[in-house]
C-alpha cells in the first residue's frame, strides 16, 4: 500500500474500525468478495478508487482480547480461497504471539524504570533520614559529654551518675538508628561490598582488642585459636569485621561466666570462623528465629540484654553477599557456636545487598 | 599566643558545643556556616587550624578544603574534616580533598580536642 493510501485509511478510522469490531466479536475472518457491492463508505470509496475489489480481515485475538487485525486486499473480486484464509490465520496466530510478547516486554521495561525510580527515591530518603536522625542525637551526646567532662564546672555526684545514664541511652539509641539504617540499606539493595585483600588473623585480633575489656569486666575468659598458614583472603574487610564483632559481642553479652573462644581455620578454598560461648545455649525453635529481623530468643532477653535483634540479620546478609554461610550449633545448657564460612577470594558480590 | 580555630559548621548546636569545648580549652574561635563564608573568614583573619564539617549549604566541606589546599597562601593551615558515620565514601573523599585529618560524627568532644591539640602544640 502506498503511503498516501495508508494515510487515507488512517483518517477513516471510524468506519474501518466498525468492520474490525464486528470481526473481532465473532473472532472469525470476515471477507467481502466485492467492495463494489457494499454500501459506499469513505473507506471503501478510497479502496475502490485505488483499484481494490476484495477484502479479507483476519482478527488478531490473543488471551487478553483483540490486539489488531490482518487486512488483505485484492484487485480481483471474488472470495478468497480457503487455503489462503487458513494460511493467513496461521500467520495471524503467530503475529498475536509476537505482538503480545512485545507488549509484555514493553510493560516490563516500564516497570523496571518505575522500580529504579522508586529505589532511587528510597535511597535518597534513607540518606536524608539518616542525617536527620543523627543530627539531634549528636548534639545530645555532645552536650552531655561536655557536662560530664565538667566543662561547665563541678556537678553533684548524683547528677553525674544520671548524666552517664543519659549518655548510655543516647549511645544505645545511636546504635539502634545505625542498625535500622544498615538493614534498610541492605533491604534496598544498596550495600555494595568493598572488596580488598585482607588477613583473617588481623580481623580476629581487631575484634579481640575491641571486646577484651568487655570480657574482662564480666570475668569471662576470651580465647583465640588461629590456624597457622591461613591464606591471604579477599573480601569486604570492614563488613566481615562487623560480622565477627557482632558474633563475639553477642557471645559475651549472653554469657555470664566461662569463656568465649574464637577459632579461625581454612580448607578447600574457604575460610571458617567460629565463635563458641559457654552461655545458656539456644533451643532449636529459637535457632530458627534469631536470624530474622527483630527476633530475639525471647522478649525478656531484649529487655535484659538490650540490642535491636538486627545484628544477626545484617551479619547473615553480609556473609551471604560474600557467597558464604552463617549458622549456629547449640543445645540448651551447652553453650552455642556461631560460625561463618566465606570463600577465600571473593571477586564479585552475590546479588544486591 | 592564643591559637585561633575556624569552625565551619551549619548546625547551631554543634557550633555551641565546639564554642564551649574549645573555649574552655583556651582557643579563640571564628565561625563560618558554609564553605563560602569559610573562605572569606580565612582571608580576613588567618586561623591556626580549621575544623570543617562536610554537609554545608552553598559550598560543601570538600570543595572548601580543596580550594584552601590549592591556595599557596593557605595550604599550610591544618584542616580537620568532620565526616558522617558509615557513608563509606566520606573518608576517601576527605583525603582526596587534601584534609590533614578527619573525625567521624558523632565525635567525642574529648577525642576531638586531643586531635586538635596534636596539631596545635
Looking at residue A345, the DSSP 8-state letter turns out to be B
- pLDDT digits over A2-16, tens only? 776 666 666 655 555
Whether A146 sits inside 8 A of B85 (CB atoms) is no
The residue of chain A with its CA nearest to that of B18 is A142
The C-alpha atoms of residue A198 and residue A265 are separated, in whole angstroms, by 15
Instruction: Name A202's Cβ contacts closer than 8 Å, sequence gap at least 6.
Output: A237
State mean pLDDT over A345-353.
79
The C-alpha atoms of residue A177 and residue A131 are separated, in whole angstroms, by 11
Nearest-CB residue to B17 (from A137, A146, A174): A146
Between vectors from CA B12 to CA B11 and to CA B13, what angle results, nearest 5°? 95
* Surface-to-core class of residue A197, CB atoms within 10 Å of its CB (0-12 exposed, 13-18 middle, 19+ buried): exposed
Q: Which of A202-216, A218-232, A273-287, A295-309 has the lowest mean pLDDT?
A: A295-309
In Å, the largest CA–CA distance within chain A is 110
Nearest-CB residue to A142 (from B84, B88, B106): B106
Whether A135 sits inside 8 A of B109 (CB atoms) is no
The residue of chain A with its CA nearest to that of B10 is A135
Report how far apart the first and last C-alpha atoms of chain B are (Å, whole number).
Answer: 11
The C-alpha atoms of residue A259 and residue A221 are separated, in whole angstroms, by 4
Whether B11 sits inside 8 A of A139 (CB atoms) is yes
| Interface with A, mutate which of B9, B12, B17 (most A CBs under 10 A) | B17
Enumerate the residues of chain A whose CB falls inside 8 A of the CB of residue B14: 138-139, 142
Mean pLDDT score of chain A: 85
| Interface with A, mutate which of B9, B10, B90, B109 (most A CBs under 10 A) | B109
The C-alpha atoms of residue B22 and residue B2 are separated, in whole angstroms, by 12
State mean pLDDT over A265-278.
94
User: In this structure, what C-alpha cell is assigned to residue A32?
Assistant: 467481502
Please, which pLDDT band fits residue B70 given cuts at 50, 70 and 90? very high
A334 touches chain B (CB under 8 A): no
B55 touches chain A (CB under 8 A): yes
Asked whether residue A265 carries a pLDDT value surpassing 70, the answer given is yes
Computed over its alpha carbons, how large is the radius of gyration of chain B? Answer: 13
The residue of chain A with its CA nearest to that of B113 is A146
B11 touches chain A (CB under 8 A): yes
pTM of the complete model = 0.58
Enumerate the residues of chain A whose CB falls inside 8 A of the CB of residue B10: none
Computed over its alpha carbons, how large is the radius of gyration of chain A? Answer: 36
Give the ipTM of the model, two decimals please.
0.84
Enumerate the residues of chain B whose CB falls inside 8 A of the CB of residue A130: 84
- pLDDT digits over A52-109, tens only? 899 898 888 887 777 788 889 899 999 999 999 999 999 998 998 898 899 889 999 9
What are the angstrom distances between the C-alpha of B41 and each of B7, B34, B84?
10, 10, 24
Asked whether residue A289 carries a pLDDT value surpassing 70, the answer given is yes
State mean pLDDT over B17-43.
94
- pLDDT digits over A291-319, tens only? 776 555 555 555 455 555 568 888 998 99
Whether A145 sits inside 8 A of B110 (CB atoms) is yes
A74: helix, strand or coil = strand
Instruction: Name B50's Cβ contacts closer than 8 Å, sequence gap at least 6.
Output: B5, B6, B8, B38, B42, B68, B77, B78, B79, B80
Please, which pLDDT band fits residue A23 given cuts at 50, 70 and 90? low
> Any idea of the CA torsion for B30, B35, B39, B40, to the nearest 10 degrees?
-70
Contact (CB, 8 A) for B14 and A145: no
Contact (CB, 8 A) for A339 and A274: yes
The C-alpha atoms of residue A173 and residue A126 are separated, in whole angstroms, by 17
Asked whether residue A339 carries a pLDDT value surpassing 80, the answer given is yes
Asked whether residue B85 carries a pLDDT value surpassing 80, the answer given is no
- State the smallest CA–CA distance between residue B73 and chain A in angstroms: 34
- pLDDT digits over B88-112, tens only? 567 778 888 889 998 877 778 888 9
The C-alpha atoms of residue A268 and residue A266 are separated, in whole angstroms, by 7
State mean pLDDT over A218-247.
92
A124 touches chain B (CB under 8 A): no
B30: helix, strand or coil = strand
The C-alpha atoms of residue A222 and residue A244 are separated, in whole angstroms, by 14
**DSSP characters over A76-140:** S-SPPPHHHHHHHHHHHHHHHHHHHHHHHHHHHHHHHHHHHHHHHHHHHHHHHHHHHHHHHHHHH
Instruction: Name A1's Cβ contacts closer than 8 Å, sequence gap at least 6.
Output: A9, A73
User: In this structure, what C-alpha cell is assigned to residue A3?
Assistant: 503511503
The residue of chain A with its CA nearest to that of B17 is A143
B113 touches chain A (CB under 8 A): no
Q: What percent of chain A has pLDDT over 90?
A: 37
The C-alpha atoms of residue B76 and residue A175 are separated, in whole angstroms, by 37
Q: Which of A117-126, A305-314, B30-39 has the lowest mean pLDDT?
A: A305-314
Return residues 133-162 of A near B (CB < 8 Å): 134-139, 141-143, 145-146, 149, 151-152
> Residue for cell digits 575484634?
A207
Amino acid at each position: 500500500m502506498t503511503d498516501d493510501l495508508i494515510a487515507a485509511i488512517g483518517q477513516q478510522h471510524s468506519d474501518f474500525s466498525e468492520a474490525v469490531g464486528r470481526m473481532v466479536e465473532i473472532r472469525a475472518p470476515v471477507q467481502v468478495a466485492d467492495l463494489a457491492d457494499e454500501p459506499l463508505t469513505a473507506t471503501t470509496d478510497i479502496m475502490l478508487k485505488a483499484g481494490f475489489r476484495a477484502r479479507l480481515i483476519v482478527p488478531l485475538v490473543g488471551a487478553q482480547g483483540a490486539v489488531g487485525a490482518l487486512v488483505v486486499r485484492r484487485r480481483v473480486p471474488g472470495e478468497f480461497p480457503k487455503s489462503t484464509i487458513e494460511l493467513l490465520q496461521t500467520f495471524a496466530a503467530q503475529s498475536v504471539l509476537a505482538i503480545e510478547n512485545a507488549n509484555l516486554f514493553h510493560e516490563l521495561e516500564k516497570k523496571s524504570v518505575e522500580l529504579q525510580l522508586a529505589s532511587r527515591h528510597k535511597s535518597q530518603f534513607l540518606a536524608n533520614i539518616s542525617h536527620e536522625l543523627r543530627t539531634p542525637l549528636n548534639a545530645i551526646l555532645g552536650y552531655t559529654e561536655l557536662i560530664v567532662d565538667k566543662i561547665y564546672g563541678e556537678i553533684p555526684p548524683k547528677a553525674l551518675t544520671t548524666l552517664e545514664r543519659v549518655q548510655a541511652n543516647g549511645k544505645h539509641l545511636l546504635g539502634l538508628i545505625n542498625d535500622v539504617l544498615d538493614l534498610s540499606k541492605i533491604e534496598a539493595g544498596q550495600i555494595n561490598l568493598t572488596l580488598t585483600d585482607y588477613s583473617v588473623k588481623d580481623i580476629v585480633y581487631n575484634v579481640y582488642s575491641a571486646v577484651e575489656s568487655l570480657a574482662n569486666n564480666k570475668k569471662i575468659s576470651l580465647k583465640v585459636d588461629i590456624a597457622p598458614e591461613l591464606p591471604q583472603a579477599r573480601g569486604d574487610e570492614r563488613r566481615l569485621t562487623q560480622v565477627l564483632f557482632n558474633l563475639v559481642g553477642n557471645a559475651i553479652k549472653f554469657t555470664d561466666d566461662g569463656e568465649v573462644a574464637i577459632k579461625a581455620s581454612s580448607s578447600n578454598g574457604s575460610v571458617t570462623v567460629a565463635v563458641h560461648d559457654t552461655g545458656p545455649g539456644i533451643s532449636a525453635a529459637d535457632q530458627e528465629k534469631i536470624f530474622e529481623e527483630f527476633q530475639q530468643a525471647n522478649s525478656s532477653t531484649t529487655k535484659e540484654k538490650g540490642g535491636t535483634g538486627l545484628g544477626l540479620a545484617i551479619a547473615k546478609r553480609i556473609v551471604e553477599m560474600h557467597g558464604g554461610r552463617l549458622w549456629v550449633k547449640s543445645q540448651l545448657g551447652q553453650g552455642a557456636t556461631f560460625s561463618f564460612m566465606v570463600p577465600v577470594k571473593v571477586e564479585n558480590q552475590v546479588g544486591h545487598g | 599566643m592564643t591559637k585561633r580555630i575556624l569552625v565551619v559548621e551549619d548546625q547551631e548546636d554543634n557550633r555551641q558545643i565546639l564554642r564551649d569545648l574549645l573555649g574552655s580549652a583556651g582557643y579563640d574561635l571564628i565561625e563560618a556556616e558554609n564553605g563560602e563564608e569559610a573562605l572569606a573568614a580565612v582571608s580576613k583573619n588567618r586561623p591556626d587550624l580549621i575544623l570543617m564539617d562536610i554537609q554545608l549549604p552553598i559550598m560543601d566541606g570538600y570543595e572548601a578544603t580543596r580550594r584552601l589546599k590549592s591556595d599557596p597562601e593557605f595550604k599550610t593551615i591544618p584542616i580537620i574534616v568532620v565526616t558522617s558515620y558509615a557513608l563509606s565514601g566520606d573518608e576517601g573523599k576527605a583525603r582526596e580533598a587534601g584534609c590533614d585529618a578527619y573525625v567521624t560524627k558523632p565525635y567525642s568532644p574529648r577525642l576531638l580536642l586531643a586531635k586538635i591539640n596534636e596539631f596545635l602544640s
